[in-house]
């Protein structure tokens, strides 16, 4: 069930049978010469929507702008600073908790979001902790590439040149979902350089075409489809296990 295609009454009925929800979260940022700007929010959305076809789960609208200050040297990137991002995650979460959701799983598609999502969780839990009361809900961060079996499959598909940004696995997933948006290119060098992440102009100087350590030329829609099917199955299992965890009130 997709929240944005549901009525308030349908969400109310869902809450009578489950208190869990998935929030795809990512970033809108450059992904090298062939990667779509939406790659990091599309991947978790594609996986969550695929999972929703096979199980009675609820998927929230995608939180599609993240912490991408280091990509602002490339046109089309839109970033929240960490403090804004943390504040926004807090209000999304408080809204869902106010309706009765007790298990909120953020399915993340951008490594640069991880520190801020974890900080947001601590900010939210701190409200209960300072008041010496139970929060009554639990938050979980799950990167799609960490879902059971997905990293192993990506390693088999791309034993070299996976890298950490504009990776063949994430490009493959968007190719599977949006075959009409596949962009061909010759990569020079074939495998991009690796190194530190600092400010936007430093990033562009180190990684001129936007890739980090990756060879997205290995991506294919078929490999993307395999990753999506496995990730969707693993997401359903993760959410089920998370739903069963007890949360004392």
Binding site for Ni ion (CB under 5 A): 40, 170
Mutual angle of helices 39-54 and 221-244, in 10-degree steps: 60
8 Å CB contact between 103 and 245: yes
- Phi, psi angle pair for 143, to nearest 5°: -75, 135
Q: C-alpha 180: how far from its chain's center?
A: 22
Q: CB of residue 174 vs Ni ion: minimum separation in angstroms?
A: 10
Q: CB of residue 166 vs Ni ion: minimum separation in angstroms?
A: 7
Nearer to Ni ion, 93 or 113 (CB): 113
Nearer to Ni ion, 40 or 50 (CB): 40
Q: CB of residue 68 vs Ni ion: minimum separation in angstroms?
A: 10
Tell me which residue has its CB nearest to Ni ion. 40
Q: CB of residue 39 vs Ni ion: minimum separation in angstroms?
A: 5
Nearer to Ni ion, 115 or 128 (CB): 115
Nearer to Ni ion, 40 or 52 (CB): 40
Q: What is the DSSP track for the chain?
A: -BGGGS-HHHHHHHHHH--EEEEEE--B--BTTTB-TTHHHHHHHHHHHHHHHHS---BPPPB-----GGGTTSTT-B---HHHHHHHHHHHHHHHHHTT--EEEEEE--GGGHHHHHHHHHHHHHHHHHTTS----EEEEEEGGGSTTHHHHHHHH-SSS--SBS-HHHHHHHHHH-GGG------SSSS-------SHHHHHHHSTTS-BS--GGG--HHHHHHHHHHHHHHHHHHHHHHHHS----
Q: CB of residue 108 vs Ni ion: minimum separation in angstroms?
A: 10
Nearer to Ni ion, 14 or 168 (CB): 168
Nearer to Ni ion, 231 or 236 (CB): 231
Nearer to Ni ion, 14 or 144 (CB): 144
Q: CB of residue 167 vs Ni ion: minimum separation in angstroms?
A: 7
Q: CB of residue 171 vs Ni ion: minimum separation in angstroms?
A: 9
Burial class from Cβ neighbours inside 10 Å (0-12, 13-18, 19+) for residue 16 reads: exposed
């Amino acid at each position: 069930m997709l929240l944005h295609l549901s009525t308030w009454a349908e969400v109310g009925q869902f809450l009578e049978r489950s208190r869990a929800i998935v929030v795809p979260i990512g970033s809108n940022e450059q992904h090298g010469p062939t990667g779509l700007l939406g790659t990091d929010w599309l991947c978790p959305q594609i996986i969550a929507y695929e999972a929703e076809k096979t199980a009675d789960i609820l998927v929230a609208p995608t939180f599609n702008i993240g912490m991408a200050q280091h990509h602002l040297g490339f046109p089309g990137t839109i970033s929240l600073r960490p403090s804004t991002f943390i504040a926004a995650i807090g209000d999304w979460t408080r809204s869902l908790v106010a309706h009765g959701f007790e298990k909120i799983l953020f399915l993340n598609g951008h490594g640069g979001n991880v520190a801020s999502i974890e900080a947001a969780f601590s900010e939210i839990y701190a409200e209960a902790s300072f008041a010496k009361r139970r929060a009554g809900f639990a938050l979980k961060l799950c990167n799609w590439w960490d879902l059971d079996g997905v990293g192993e499959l990506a390693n088999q598909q791309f034993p070299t040149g996976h890298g950490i940004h504009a990776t063949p696995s994430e490009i493959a997933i968007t190719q599977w979902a949006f075959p009409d948006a596949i962009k061909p290119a010759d990569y020079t060098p074939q495998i991009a350089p690796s190194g530190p992440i600092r400010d936007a102009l430093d990033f562009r100087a180190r990684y001129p075409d936007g890739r980090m350590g990756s060879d997205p030329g290995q991506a294919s829609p078929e490999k993307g489809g395999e990753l999506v099917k496995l990730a969707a199955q693993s997401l359903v299992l993760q959410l089920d296990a998370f739903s069963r965890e007890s949360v004392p009130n």
